[in-house]
Structure 1
């Protein structure tokens, strides 16, 4: 369960920085059928899997856009490893993501007989990013009760800021990006770990690159945009 929720957190950053609407954000022109492909690498640069993202529905209602994205992950052998859908909301100058929609349906089915409580604060990506800008923290908390025993897990995304601008090249093209930094702290039972992260975000495209590090700054994993179709 911990592995699935942490994997969901990794997807979270990709999703939130990849979805927006023409009339509410400049970072991704959302239309049904738009798709992205991201290749995931380990710390040595070896391919660990490929994630496919596709906007399957976008509904406009006044100044609010509700979107659904389907995500499929294949492992390094091309076998299906994970699939889910996410619901997002774009309003005015902000894209937000509902944390409850991040929990994989198969996980909820597995623990369907248990009492589960979920709470949190959405990740926000504003329209007017600038170098040095501080962004709001985000978090999700999950409490599971089983046979009178409570198990708690929290994930906090803190110290979010726009670190710099940088041009980056990938197999999908060359992009001028904002670099967003954050520290992701996960706590489950007595385990408490911190994973700093950077996301390269391009206007009109979304996430181009992501790197996750150990607390000491050593690279743990990375994700790169390898295909993009409007």
Structure 2
């Protein structure tokens, strides 16, 4: 259960990184029908899985845009390991995620009486990104309760900064990106770990590339945009 919980948590972190940019920001179009495919690699460049995202529904009421995103995660052999829909909304320059709908019903059925609560602060990507800019911290917390025992898992995204601009070529195309650095601090029981990361963001597309490192700077894993359709 511990491993499963960690996988779900870090998958949610990835979701927030992708959806924190939308049509309220020029860095990601929250438009019905837009789809993205990301391939996940280990430190040796071997494929570990593929994540697919698709905006299935959008509507605008006043100055708030709401959307439903379908997500599918498969392992390196193509076997589905996670699938769900979740909702997000955007007003001004801020995205709000419906955290409860991120929990798939099959996972809830599997764990029966286990109680899971997810909360956090959204990742903000302002329209006026510039090199050297410091960005607000963000966090996600998961509280798991079963048979009177509670386990808390938290990930804080700290020291976020726009490092540089860089061109990135992927199977989906070539993109001019802003590179955003952060330090992801995970807390689970008595264990605290820090994983620095970089995200490459392109206007009109969102995340194009992501790398996660050990504390000493060695690459742990990476994610690459391998297909994009609007």
Give your verdict on TM over 0.5: yes
State how 1:78-89 maps to structure 2 within 5 Å: 78-89=78-89
Shift of 1:169: 0.5
Distance change >3 Å, CA 87–CA 3, structure 1 → 2: farther
Shifted more, 26-35 versus 148-157: the winner is 148-157
Distance change >3 Å, CA 72–CA 222, structure 1 → 2: same
Q: Distance in 2 between matches of 1:9 and 1:150?
A: 16
CA contact (8 A) 1:16 1:96 kept: no
What is residue 222 of structure 2 aligned with on the other side? 222
CA contact (8 A) 2:13 2:140 kept: no
What is residue 131 of structure 2 aligned with on the other side? 131
Task: Give the unaligned 5+ runs of structure 1.
Answer: none
The number of residues matched between the two structures is 229
Q: Distance in 2 between matches of 1:76 and 1:56?
A: 25
State how 1:141-160 maps to structure 2 within 5 Å: 141-160=141-160
Does residue 26 of the first structure (1) align with residue 26 of the second (2)? yes
CA contact (8 A) 2:32 2:57 kept: yes
Distance change >3 Å, CA 183–CA 108, structure 1 → 2: farther
CA contact (8 A) 1:21 1:65 kept: no
State how 1:74-223 maps to structure 2 within 5 Å: 74-223=74-223
CA contact (8 A) 1:98 1:122 kept: no
Shifted more, 107-116 versus 175-184: the winner is 107-116
Question: What is the SS of the residue equivalent to 1:204?
Answer: coil
Distance change >3 Å, CA 106–CA 141, structure 1 → 2: same
CA RMSD of the aligned region, Å?
2.1
Q: Please, what TM-score do these two structures have when normalized by structure 1? A: 0.89
Q: Please, what TM-score do these two structures have when normalized by structure 2? A: 0.89
